[in-house]
Every structure is written in C-alpha cells, then in structure tokens.
Amino acid sequence: MTRPLICRIDASALAHNLARIQSLAPNAPIWAVAKARAYGHGLSQALQGFSAAAGIAVLEIEEAAHLRSAGWEKPILLLEGLFRPQDLSAAAELRLDLAVHQAEQAQAFFSAAAPAVAYLQSGARVWLKLNTGMNRLGFPTRGGLEPLRELVDSLRQTLGVGRVGFMMHFAQAESPLASEEPFARFEWALERLGHGAGEPLSLANSAAVIHLAFARMGWLRPGIALYGASPFRFDRGGHAPVFSNLGLRPAQTLQTELIAIQHLQAGDGVGYGMRFRASGPMRIGVAAVGYADGYPRTAPDGTPVLVDGKRCAVAGQVSMDLLTIDLTAVPQARVGSRVELWGAGLAVDEVASHCGTVGYELLTAITPRVARHALAIPGAMSGTGKG
C-alpha cells in the first residue's frame, strides 16, 4: 500500500495570490520570487501560477535554466547574483538580470571581455543592492559613496542607459516607523549615485507590499505571500490581522491519514520520552508523517492538526515517521481518517507559531520522500511566460 502522505500544490491558488498582490499596486511590475523550489511548491507549479508576473526571481542559475527550458521567456532575476565570475557566460546565455551586492561581482563585467559583450547583447540588467541597515548583503549607504559612484558610472558606461537598477530589502517591513529610516537611506543614496529616470528600482518584499504603501514603487518582489502564507508572525490563536484581510489562498496542503488508534488509560504515556501522559481514558491517533518528511520535530503538545476537518492536537514527541494526535475532539475518527497538517483548513503560520518558527521554514522543508500531487490550472501549460 502506498504511504498516504501527500503534499498537494494548487497552481490556481498561486495565480489568485499573484492577482491579489498585484491589486495593491496595479501598475507595478512584479518579480514573483520562486527561490528554494518556489518555496517548496515546485518550479513547474510556479510557472503556471505566475504566468502573469512580469518576471520571476530565483537564487541559482540552475533554477533559471529550468525556467528557460520550460518556456519562460520573460525576465529572470538572480537575487544574489553570480557566485563565481565564470558564470557570467551562462547568465548571458540565459538572459538573466543579476543582483550585484559587492564590488567583486561587478568586476566580472570588466575583466572578461567575451562574457561582458555577450551580456551586453542579452538585454538583461544589473541591480545594485544597497545595504540600508539589514546588514546582510549590499553596498553600504553610510559615509562617502564616491567609490560606489565610480563603480556605478563604470557599469552604466559598460552596459548602457537603463541597464543599471537599484534594490534594497526591508528588515522590519511590519513596522512603518522602523522602515522610514532605511527608506530614507535608500533615497539619499540614489540621489548621490545620480539615479536616472530610466533606471529601475525594487524595494518591496511581501511584507512591504502589504504594509508599506510608500515602498510600492518600481518592481515589487513578493515571495511568501504569493504562496498564501504570511510574512508576519501569527499568534498561537492563528491571528495576524494585517495579513488576514487580503483573501490569499494557501497553495500547499500537507495531508495524511491515521494508520492506527491506541486506547489509553490514566497515566499511560505516548511516544519517545513519554512526554505526554493521559489524564484519563482517551484515544490517540497515529498519523503517517514525521520529521523525516519535514514535519517539525519541535512541535509541542497542543500543536493543532485537523482530523476529518476537526481541530485536534499533537500529543507526544514527533518521531521520524509518525505523529501522535489526541482524538478527544473527534470520537468518530478511525483508521483511514484524513489528517491535515496545514493547508486550506489550517494555516501553516499557526502551526509554525506553535513550533517557534515561521511558515517559510515548514513550506520549504518538505522532503523528497513525500509524494506530490500538483493541481494544475485548467487549460494552462507549464511553460507559460511569453510576451
């Protein structure tokens, strides 16, 4: 018998979410961020769901090559640029927009004549990433900017008018007040770098698109929201008011079945370490899912799950292949009853909040042994993205 654990991906939900995000800034082009195998949803599903996007942003050249081979002809952005200078030839062949976050990356355009010429002919752009306070990647925006101005001018001269853009990343987009200073630093730097009218900008990730109206300029870069999950932390009651009113649909559902039921008496323990003990007679359901599938081992007792559509709770330590569930709320549950770990009926963000993490981690952590079932958009082709 095939193990009943399935990860369902709904491409129509991706398309719906893209349209909802686009409605917040109807005239802004969107980079649909699809790194980490489209946040665990799969690049093939992303191609269908994001066919209306102006471009797709990924992390690795291999992801970009997959998109091109599947028929995506619109722009593709490498969010961290080139990891090795010799990859410029492949980037040129694939017509990739490239983030440049340090001077060493920019040297690839000056030190290798043939790749630079090919890149010039590809029509793609270079996006200078400015560090406005997050202190991960990017050129600093404090102190003198003369060395950076010289680099920018050299790139403008090498690549041509309108081929150099500028980007930043908000660290605290959930807070308009905390985001004002990074935004001001970005504007200050643009002024000193001689930002021209034809040079594109990109500021807003999911949280910024949703929460910072002043950041909805240039190319938007939504990620997690496109998959129906929240860039804002949920509380344990499953609430994130800023996010909840957007009408987004979860695109990933992780579901399985009960494969056994145990009858406990008062004092009986469950699972490794006997972390959970019954206070009286009760039924424990055993579901076919565990941490080797990507379900978090850190899930404490009380983490919500759905059994036959009813809210139940984890009871006992998550093991490699199995999850034990308190069935008190579902007396009719039986072997074969459906168990939803997260999805349309239970927000992944709520589960993540119980586990001390974020929905991003759970969505991207599903392991290869989990069967996948893609729900395609009727009439859509996986290689859409022309025009």
Catalytic positions, please?
35, 272
Q: Is 148 helix (H, G, I), strand (E, B) or coil?
A: helix
Tracing tokens 């927000």 back to the chain, one arrives at 347
Residues 6+ apart with CB under 8 A from 66: 43
Structural contact between residues 324 and 314, judged by C-beta atoms closer than 8 angstroms: yes
Is beta strand 304-307 parallel, antiparallel or unpaired with respect to 338-342?
antiparallel
Q: What is the dihedral of CA 320, 325, 331, 333, to 10 degrees?
A: -30
Q: How far is CA 264 from CA 20, 275, 364, in A?
A: 47, 14, 35
Structural contact between residues 326 and 299, judged by C-beta atoms closer than 8 angstroms: no
Percentages helix, strand, coil for the chain (3-state, rounded to 5) are 35, 20, 45
Question: CA 60 to CA 91: how far, in whole Å?
Answer: 10
Strand segments (E) across 245-363: 252-264, 269-270, 276-277, 282-287, 304-307, 310-314, 323-326, 338-342
Phi-psi region of 296 (alpha: psi -120 to 50; beta: other; left: phi over 0): beta
